[in-house]
Amino acid sequence: MLRRLLPTLVALGCGLLALGWGLVSLQRIFSRERDDAHAQLRSRRDALAHAGEEALRQNLTRKLDESIVPLHAAVGDPLEPGEGFYLNFRDYQFLPRLTIPMPGTETPARDLWARLGARLKDGGAAGAWEPRLTRLRAVEAALAAKDARGVAMRVEELLRYHAAHRLPPEQELPFLLLVVERLQRGDATPPLVRALLREGLPEDFGGFARASGLQRDLLRERSRFTQADFDFLHARVVQVSAALGEPTADFLARASEAGAGMLVIPEDLYEPTLLGELWYVEPRGEALYGIAVDLEAMLQPITQDMQARGLFDSTGRLRLRAGGAFRPLRTLKLAVDLPEWARQEADIDARYGLKTLLVAVCGALAVAIFALAVVAQQRKYRFLELKSDFVATVSHELRTPLASIRLLGETLERKLAQAPEVRDYPARIVQAADGLHFLVENILSFNRIDKGRWRLRTSRVRLEELVPPLRDELASATSVPVHVTADVDGAELEADLGLLRMLFSNLGRNACAYNRRDPIEITIRAQVIPGYGCTVLFQDNGIGIPASEWENAFLDFYRVTTPGTEVHGSGLGLALCRRIMKLHRGDIQVAASGPDGTTFALIFNEPHR
């Protein structure tokens, strides 16, 4: 069988291989298609991100350029806003301003201010402060005398002395505060005294270098005071400024300006760089300039501009890719988030998945077709084998009775006169002819039923009617006595009489053929189940059928080989019986079988009357 199947297998295998190669190539094309589509999307996205990065770089540089003037102003004037600027020159951070107070809780400046105030009041000796206090008292006296020229002269003298004898800021500021407080007279305050508060003294009084106004000096020298001293001086300066009608808004704002502390700058910073996402710094000459930035906010106008130019729709968004703490501007990377593209990417993947599924299904189908073709081919050869076996068997079966008929006829002719040896020859000739007739009938009926050409002619058949002809047929078909007993109790069936006869003949002949007993016993019983149908049990006392062969015995051309018995047959009888029963919408089965005989159950489903 395998040898006969080999060419088919080889042809199918080659076909399968070719198909497999085709499917693999197709799959490769699909995956290249998907990669190309992804790459196309990626390159569009990269181009947009690149444009966004370029715009952001330009905006940062421009913003820093615009900040240079206010940044310089903040460095020169402590009252100018310095928040959001960074300036480092020769390793000193000018901006953001360092607002770190002296550690500790002492208040030396406040104490000095109180002590000097007390000395002014009680006139007591003040040591090194005496020349200053004396000059201050003189101004007060001139003020009290309303001597305008005297006041101007005394104030000038006091300030010249002060300028000539420099004090450290932690002493100078409480003293100057005391001076302003003592000498302020509202609108009548001497101009130089008023200048001490905010505007600063002219250059020849020590202005610019120091004494550029208490407000500025306090802010500039903040780190020389403890927090308590600073708070004290700050409150008094605000108080006296308010009394003199001097502006305090910027002073208050700068005093409460949040100090950013020291920014950590990498040693080798030599190009525009982002520090985290908060600062943008750029080295220019020896200085390092910087501005505080809100990158997310800066990205918005760029995004809007791109939307306006139709580069992406209103759902698109530029986003900063995560980066390190120090990021040179040239390495800045943006990402473009566009739901439409995400959808397109998902579509590409879904299409690819579908195509892959199709290829897989085609592959599975090809394998299934291959398997089916092999099975069909195998079945075909098996059928051909069965057919040729059947032809061989039937030819043999036909030849045997024919040979017998011929031999018996010749012998009968020769020995016609000589009795008694030839007495049973005519009977045997008839028997052989009957056997042949039975076989031919079986083949014809089987063929007609198999091809659906049998037209069922049903009538009410009484089971009893079938028994006498069966008895006669078996008596003439076999030399061993056959006892057929029937217990059918007047049972009737709606059936084709001709087919029922053929059914009983086949069962009866098998009962005789596969039997070694003498006499042969056949019992037919009918069990009627009202409303359901009728079961006819056909029992013999033959050699029995092995349990494993009960179903196989009904297959077309199937013969059960029983060691020790040599019975000729075609393997058609029981197959025909089953077809007859199926035609009657019933079935036939082996109900029981063993060494004592076999019982076949004929199940007629049709309701019995």
Closer CB to ligand ADP, 240 or 522, in the complex = 522
Residues 6+ apart with CB under 8 A from 304: none
- 69 burial type by CB count under 10 A (0-12 exposed, 13-18 middle, 19+ buried): exposed
Closer CB to ligand ADP, 23 or 592, in the complex = 592
Q: What is the DSSP letter of 208?
A: T
Closer CB to ligand ADP, 180 or 602, in the complex = 602
Closer CB to ligand ADP, 79 or 572, in the complex = 572
- Strands 520-529 and 482-487, bridge-based pairing: parallel
Tokens of 165: 């004898």
Tell me the C-alpha distance between 141 and 388, whole Å: 151
Closer CB to ligand ADP, 366 or 574, in the complex = 574
Closer CB to ligand ADP, 218 or 466, in the complex = 466
Contact status, residue 530 vs residue 608, Cβ threshold 8 Å? yes
The minimum distance between CB 577 and ligand ADP, in angstroms, equals: 8
Closer CB to ligand ADP, 241 or 515, in the complex = 515
- 39 burial type by CB count under 10 A (0-12 exposed, 13-18 middle, 19+ buried): exposed
Contact status, residue 347 vs residue 72, Cβ threshold 8 Å? no
The minimum distance between CB 436 and ligand ADP, in angstroms, equals: 14
Q: Other C-beta atoms within 10 Å of 103: how many?
A: 8
The minimum distance between CB 381 and ligand ADP, in angstroms, equals: 22
User: What is residue 142's three-state secondary structure?
Assistant: helix
Closer CB to ligand ADP, 82 or 573, in the complex = 573
The minimum distance between CB 593 and ligand ADP, in angstroms, equals: 7
Residues that bind ligand ADP in the complex, under the rule CB under 6 A: 510-511, 514, 540, 542-545, 553, 559-560, 562, 569-575, 598
Residues 6+ apart with CB under 8 A from 148: none
Residues 6+ apart with CB under 8 A from 485: 521, 522, 523, 524
Rg (CA), the chain: 62
The minimum distance between CB 603 and ligand ADP, in angstroms, equals: 17
Tell me the C-alpha distance between 497 and 41, whole Å: 82
Closer CB to ligand ADP, 189 or 598, in the complex = 598
Closer CB to ligand ADP, 135 or 559, in the complex = 559
The minimum distance between CB 19 and ligand ADP, in angstroms, equals: 44
The minimum distance between CB 4 and ligand ADP, in angstroms, equals: 26
Tokens of 66: 């615009």
Tell me the C-alpha distance between 364 and 367, whole Å: 5
The minimum distance between CB 563 and ligand ADP, in angstroms, equals: 11
Closer CB to ligand ADP, 218 or 477, in the complex = 477
Contact status, residue 101 vs residue 230, Cβ threshold 8 Å? yes
Helix or strand (DSSP H, E) at 85: strand 85-89
Tell me the C-alpha distance between 511 and 573, whole Å: 12
The minimum distance between CB 5 and ligand ADP, in angstroms, equals: 28
The minimum distance between CB 546 and ligand ADP, in angstroms, equals: 9
The minimum distance between CB 403 and ligand ADP, in angstroms, equals: 19
Q: What is the DSSP letter of 225?
A: S
Long-range contacts of 419-423 (CB under 8 A, 24+ apart): none
Closer CB to ligand ADP, 190 or 542, in the complex = 542
Tell me the C-alpha distance between 347 and 123, whole Å: 94
The minimum distance between CB 459 and ligand ADP, in angstroms, equals: 26
* Helical segments of 145-294, H only: 148-164, 169-183, 191-197, 214-220, 227-244, 249-255
